[in-house]
Structure 1
């Protein structure tokens, strides 16, 4: 599995700011609807439910919101870069400016975990994150993310 398998080129957005974590999750829900035909309100509800179990801000400005959804056939995701970092209740209490949201079928066991591990590994790379933060173009960001996982696999 690579990020190319999870993230479509259209699943990347750079936004100026989000007023709150909840607002960012709504933006992610809009993207999931546009990219995968998922119901925006179902996505937001599932993401908020997951956040209630514990924040998905993993530190160093990165968040990995994720949820299991009915009627989904495979693991998929979207990526958002926020120009103005926002509070995400991260483990290191640092604001978040990079969010990779993952969606998995309700019965996806190991595939969901593999996808989370892959994305986490990619966004733990300081060089990758610096490149993501210094780019505005979604196609460039897509290339950075997909090349990073190709290099890790090699």
Structure 2
């Protein structure tokens, strides 16, 4: 199922981030519906990272948090110009940050599962890394290439 069907909005951006926190700060700014919610979202994303890294391997992290200001989930895909340490076994250059309403429980886990499945495909990861800009990233997310069946 396309991410746009699962989330209210999905934004994309190529970003020069110095470290994990600057990537999370940029993601929070893009996820927030209101400026006042940006700090709360940043702290929610950081708090989740303090529990354990959201890096899932292959240079991908899926930081996620909750927000009382959201009615539906929102997502942001950042392709970092240089990989940064997310506390996993390898540096991260693809970050899909997600914010969900506070009352989401089962839906939150389903979204994480869907994202992990998308990013498990090497063709998708390669295409995202080769994308020229945020618009190209968005097109790939909307219509992900799939590894052909053997």
Count of matched residue positions in the alignment of Structure 1 and Structure 2: 145
SS of aligned partner of 2:82: strand
Say what the alpha-carbon RMSD is for the aligned residues. Answer: 1.9
Match of 2:56 among 55, 58, 71: 58
Q: Tell me, what secondary structure is at the counterpart of 2:75?
A: strand
Q: Partner residue of 2:9?
A: 8
- Give SS of 1:148's match: coil
CA distance in 1, matches of 2:8, 2:117: 15
The TM-score normalised by the length of structure 1 is 0.86
> Which of 59, 68, 74 is the aligned partner of 2:66?
68
Residue deviations 1:91-142 (CA, integer Å, cap 9, x gap):
xx11100000111111112211111111111011111000000012222211
Q: Please, what TM-score do these two structures have when normalized by structure 2?
A: 0.89
Superposition map of 1:56-135 within 5 A: 56-90=54-88, 93-135=89-131
Q: Structure 2: any 5+ residue segments left out of the alignment?
A: none
Q: Deviations over 1:61-91 (max 9, x none)?
A: 000000111121111111100011111111x
Post-superposition, which runs of at least 4 consecutive aligned residues in structure 1 deviate over 4 A? none
